[in-house]
Structure 1
Amino acid sequence: MQKFFFAIGSTTTIFTLLLTIRSFGIVAPQLSTLQVAQQPNCKDPQTQVEINNCAGIEYQNADRKLNQAYQKLIPKLSAARRQKLILAQRAWITFRDANCEFERSQFEGGTMAPAAQAGCMAQLTKTRTKQLEEYIESAF
C-alpha cells in the first residue's frame, strides 16, 4: 500500500512540475528536434542504441528526399491527376506505417524493435521515392 501512495505522490509531483514549467513558458523540445550529443558512427554502429539512432537517421533522410520528390511532382500534374496522387500518397503512408508496425511487432518489447521499424520505413520510403522520381521524368 505504501508503494501505491508513493507512486501516486511521485506522479502528482511530476505532473505539478510539468504544469509549472509550462506556465512559465518553458516548452520541452519535440522528440524530432532532439539532438544527439555525439553523432553515432553509422558506418560501424557498435551498440543497439547506435543502430537504432542510425536507422532513425536513415529514415529521416529518406523521408526528406521523398518529400522533395513529391513537391517536384505536384506542380507537373493536372488538377485531376494531382488529386489522384494525393489519395495514392495517403494510402501509401497508411500502408507503410501499418506494414512497418507489423515488422516491428516481431521484436515487440525488445531493443531491436525501433531499428526494425525505422529500417522498414526507410526502405519503403526509398522505394516510393524512386516511383515518384519516375513519375517526375514521365510527367508532361
Structure 2
Amino acid sequence: MRNFAVRQLLLFFISMVTFNSLDVRADIAPSTMHLAQKLNCNNAQTQLDINRCAQLSYQNADKKLNEVYQKLLPKLENSRKQKLIAAQLAWIKFRDTSCEFERSGYEGGSIAPTIYFTCLEKTAKQRTQQLQEYLQPNT
C-alpha cells in the first residue's frame, strides 16, 4: 500500500512539470493548498515536505530565469533575438532530458522528486547567470 501511495505521489509531481515551467494545478483541493501554506522548508521533516520544498525552490528559480529572459529579449536585435529563442528552446530540452536522467537513478524511490526538482533548480540558476551576463554592458 505504501509503495502504491509513493508511486502515485511521484506521478502527481511529475505530471505537473511542463517544458517551460512548473505550474501548480488549479484543480488541487483547498485542503492541499492549506497544507502548502504551513510548509516550513527551513525544517522539512518528511520526504513529502522535502519534495514539495524542492518543487517550490525550483519554481522560484524558474521564475527568476523567466524574468531575466524577458528582460533580455527586447534588448536584442531581431536576428540575435531569434538565436536566443532557438538556444533557449534547445536548453529547455537539454534541461528536461538531463534532469530526467539524473532522477532515473532513483526510480521508484520517494526521493526521486527531490532529485528531479533540485536538478531543475540548479540548471535554471546556471542558465539565469548566463543570461544575466548578456545584460551586462561590454567593458
Q: 1:101-131, CA deviations, whole angstroms, 9 ceiling, x for partnerless residues?
A: 0011011011001000000000000010011
Q: Letter of the aligned partner of 1:88 in structure 2?
A: A
Tell me what 2:52 maps to. 53
Instruction: Report how many residues are paired.
Output: 111
Name structure 2 gaps, 5 residues minimum. 1-24
* Structure 1 residue 82: Cα displacement: 0.2
Q: Which amino acid aligns with 1:94?
A: K
**Larger Cα-atom Rg:** 1
Write out the 4+ residue segments of structure 1 that deviate beyond 3 Å after TM superposition: none
C-alpha displacement at 1:44, in angstroms?
1.6
Q: Does 1:137 align with 2:136?
A: yes
TM-score (norm 2): 0.74
CA-to-partner distance for each residue in 1:9-59, whole Å, 9 max, x for gaps? Answer: xxxxxxxxxxxxxxxxxxx8346xx72524321112111001100000000
CA distance in 1 between partners of 2:47 and 2:71 (Å): 36
- 1:23-42 correspondence runs (5 A): 29-30=26-27, 35-37=33-35, 38-42=37-41
Q: TM-score scaled by structure 1?
A: 0.74
Cα distance in 1 between the residues matched to 2:90 and 2:27? 26
Query: How has the CA–CA distance of structure 1 residues 88 and 60 changed in structure 2, closer, same or farther, with 3 Å as cutoff?
Result: same
Partner in structure 2 of residue 100 of structure 1: 99
1:128 & 1:46 partners in 2: Cα distance? Answer: 30
* Residue identity matched to 2:90: A
Query: Partner of 1:35: helix, strand, or coil?
Result: helix
1:80 maps onto 2:96 in alignment? no
